[in-house]
A and B are shown apart, each in its own frame.
Chain A
């Protein structure tokens, strides 16, 4: 549901960067989204097309790199893959994994003209 506001934030970042880095048209927008970031990729793409209408990013393609989540186990100190926040440690079975990667929502780069 909040994908619309995420897209509005993406467009703001793009517009700020356009002033700083002097570009007038955005062809591609590249994001790194963690699997635990709570983002629905389809909803994000849909919202993006709506939000960028009549902007310098109109017709830009949204390219999303999904980043798999990992967590640090406070009990055994090992890193492991995490699919859901409530998953136990794959090494020792303890709960309470501290997420070390995979919750980011980041704009990495743009292709511009």
Chain B
């Protein structure tokens, strides 16, 4: 039982919404020295401040930053490797790789010749803006470049953490399920672009593309959807055009 509000265990320890706050001494006489202090702070306020700092720092240098999010195995790293190999002559890239353990993904990125830093989150299930700030510091991405952040493979937690990116890209593969957007809506609610990956496997899996797009648009009507295959290269050109357009815009804004 909560001593301030008297909320009961029957309500799962929660206070009903809209209930006014009572001065503590009216019903907590046993705590003579107790006082109530107002806080009114966002729990993730500190993360949001770090994110804002990252965002300003990147914008000042004309760096376009994308936060790529997906469940494990959607093909994020393969898609990045293909993208870097195809565009590295044209766009300067830097990559931040987030994983709980190992530097395997950063190693794959570095093999393309692009600079990469691996952030291991340990017990954490997502990257946060503070870690990314240190990642940016150690990478020192060049002005007018594109910074790609591959978040930890997880459809739930990364959605809640602003990293200071300009755009969020969700990646979903056709081997997952066309109802994923409904089951994990937060990831798709805040993404600007959905890359529907592994479309070369469509003949072999039960995945209704139209249904998937309808599901994701129920949550986010403005989201852009592109069907791609990092393996065959199909549809990748539209993703490259999206990257080019935003990189040029970031550079123009700086100048």
A residues adjacent to B (C-beta < 8 A)? 1-2, 4-6, 9-10, 12-13, 17, 21, 23, 27-28, 30-31, 37-38, 41, 45, 61-68, 74, 84-86, 88, 95-96, 104-113
Contacts and interface: CB of A to CB of B under 8 A. Distances in A.
Main secondary structure, interface of A, reads mixed
B183 to A, nearest CB: 10
A113 to B, nearest CB: 5
B126 to A, nearest CB: 6
A110 B157 CA distance: 26
B81 interface: no
B134 interface: no
B3 interface: yes
B3 A27 contact: yes
B34 interface: yes
A45 B189 CA distance: 26
Given A1-B125, A96-B220, A106-B40, A64 B34 contact: no
A25 to B, nearest CB: 9
Contact of B39 (A17, A62, A105): A17
Contacts of A105: 42-44
A23 B43 contact: no
A34 B42 CA distance: 12
A107 B39 contact: yes
A95 to B, nearest CB: 5
11 contacts: A27-B3, A28-B4, A63-B2, A64-B15, A65-B16, A85-B185, A95-B217, A96-B220, A107-B39, A108-B40, A112-B36
